[in-house]
Amino acid sequence: MKHEERNAGVNVSTVKQFVLLGFSDLPNLQGLLFGIFFIMYLTILIGNSIIIVITRIDPALQKPMYFFLANFSSLEICYVSVTLPRILFNICMQDRFISILSCATQLCFFLMLGATECFLLAVMSYDRYVAICNPLHYPLIMNPTKCTQLAVSSWLGGIPVQIGQTCQIFSLHFCSSNKIDHFFCDIPPILKLACGDTSVHELSVYIVAMLFVAFPFMLILASYSKIITTILKLPTAKGRAKAFSTCSSHLLVVVLFFGSATVTYLRPKSTHSARTDKLLSLFYTIVTPMFNPMIYSLRNKDVIASLKRLLYKR
């Protein structure tokens, strides 16, 4: 049954499920889209799994930097698994309905894992800051206990706030339409369906975004300003090149993720358009996790060497 037919009688009192329109405006490209997203999902799973395996089994990679990289790769697998399997299901089955509970669950996990990514990127920049700016004290500061505490805090830090924000958003009444013009349950398209004044909810979104996106980003900028200053003071060109190489991969990931996320959540509601939101969301939910393993492996000599050793053994 087509969702247009089932949507005819939807009003404030009867909205019990949403319709994820996704890419329904491209009916002739559904097979191609399924193939593209399926390949991207496999690439993300395989690429990040390889990073996790080599950082666990290679003694040369038993360092704080690679401990956090393994956490980051695990996070990317979880993060993309919140959205991509649902996209694949919707395209394959042509069943775009999602219950309010499932939508709220998806949004909650998406927000919690997004907060974890922000915190973890900040922690990784702090690790690079200590390694380059305080190399003599690095083993003492970034000891195994401290690394574990930072990783656990990153994973758990956003859970209470994001659960509260999800409950607040889904306490709204939804009217006139249950069609979410997006490929997963995200805050901007859901707020568009809400009845009445949503300014208070929009303000809370800005506050949470400032707390979980802008604040970690400012910490990252502060860390890298110190790192760059220290690198420029190194006496040899070889030393400067090595230090820049160590940090450039992480900095590139930071720019890709925070750039698209900031534009999505911190720009005014009046400037939101469904097409732009979908494009930006694709970028930070799928494209960035797909390229992260390549960015970290191709720009890191230790990772490349570990991969060669692993392949040689096999």
Q: Mention the CATH class of domain 3-313.
A: mainly alpha
Domain map (residue ranges) of the chain = 3-313
- Angle, helices 30-57 vs 301-313, to 10°: value is 90
Q: Rounded to two decimals, what is the model's pTM?
A: 0.85
* Gap between the Cα atoms of 190 and 25, Å rounded: 19
Strands 179-180 and 17-20: parallel
Number of other residues whose CB lies within 10 A of the CB of residue 134: 14
Q: Which amino acid is at 191?
A: L
Please check whether residue 180 is in contact with residue 96, taking contact to mean a CB–CB distance below 8 angstroms: no
Which residue has 């959205």 as its token pair? 83
User: What would the pLDDT profile of 195-206 be if each residue is shown by its tens digit?
Assistant: 877 888 888 888
- Per mean pLDDT, which of 6-15, 33-42, 87-96, 243-252 is the most reliable? 33-42
User: What would the pLDDT profile of 64-103 be if each residue is shown by its tens digit?
Assistant: 999 999 999 999 999 999 999 999 998 888 878 899 899 9
User: What would the pLDDT profile of 144-170 be if each residue is shown by its tens digit?
Assistant: 999 999 999 999 998 999 999 999 999
- pLDDT the model gives residue 234: 76
